[in-house]
Chain A
Amino acid sequence: MSLYEELGGEAAINAAVDIFYRRVLGDAYVSRFFEDIDMEKQAGKQKAFLTMVFGGPNSYTGLDMREGHKHMVEKLGLNASHFEHILAHLRSTLAELGVGNDKIQEVINIADSVRADVLNK
């Protein structure tokens, strides 16, 4: 059974997107990066991102992630501390959904693998 299936597949992703999104937008330290963003497109991207970190079927490319965040790194000061907030919101979301710490750690390891792309390192 894949991690994605263990976590509950697409239904779990949908539940996670809602909680994750609410948390991120309720965090004044990172919400500025979401200003002027098309929220419908963004919800689709969040779902794709969470499917990827859940180990589900995805078409993630590091290049997309790099290109998509480059302007934030260059113009808005996106750095490692903001990335830590996103990881924290992901942990909190999974904990709220009752996912155990071991599984959370697996998910975080996958999420953390995009750090260099997101921060354009």
Chain B
Amino acid sequence: MIRDEQAIIEVRDLVKVYGADTRALDGITFSVAPGEVFGFLGPNGAGKTTTIRILATLMLATEGSARVAGFDVSGDPHEVRKRLGVAMQTPTLDAFSTGRETLELAGRLHRMPGPEVRRRAGELLELMGLESVAGKLTGAYSGGMKRRLDLASALMHRPQVLILDEPTEGLDPQSRTALWEELERISAAGTTMLLTTHYMEEADRLSSRLAIIDEGRIAVEGAPAELKRGVGADAVLLQFESPDGDGQLAEVRRLLEGLVAPDAVDRHPAGVALAVPNAGSAIPELLRRLEGDGLCIAGLQMSQPSLDDVFMKYTGRRIREEAADQPIILGS
């Protein structure tokens, strides 16, 4: 087996079987380079959390291997734990500890010396905007505060690798955006991140590379933009001042001959729809050809394919249908 010496996370043929026949992971292989933000996008139950739990040394794989920062997760879990920060799907906090106590314990368990523990805890409380509640029990924190404290606790020992399972699940849009900004800052500081999400927008915004995972397998892997390009064309919608249907459709087909294939021009309730690869650079030429021929274009809309389209292409299903409105299970 060839090892990628550059990779900070290296996962090969990971299989996890629960009980007799539940195959949660069915051969997952991927690697993450230092400094990268690697996203795991997939519906609930796809195998994201199982992969993360194996990487975090919380669970043993049935088959396959996983290395983090050069150490095998099953052979050398202690060394992996030293270099890893983990924040799970629901914040895992001791309701009877204060915010400051939570961070200080995390630092102590990572063998940070006393003054450094206090300094770092203070710094993170300030960074996460938790100074005013630092002395309150975490049981009284709001959902967003718990998330931020949990993240701070994973960051205490300045881990080489940060693993985040659904980091913004259950947050309101405002807190979500704030947390994204925070994660972008952490990434800019050089920390490698592996995050799972079932939010397209989150995967798109945060990850430099992502894998779409479905039913325990990686369906496709690549940079978000690259994956979206793989879907093919962008959608361009032409609207007219006085729509007349088929006449305009034929006219557009005629004018764009050689530029856009006739079967990529279609009727649309609001006008005429075109499927154009790289629409951004094709639009000037498009407009030049359509101009001044009595078509009277009133508007033009352009939309790029979404990660949802990517998911659709590789799995044949929409992620939203499965992921939307899942109840959030809070720890009791």
The yes or no verdict on A and B being binding partners is no
| Chain A positions near chain B (C-beta within 8 angstroms) | none
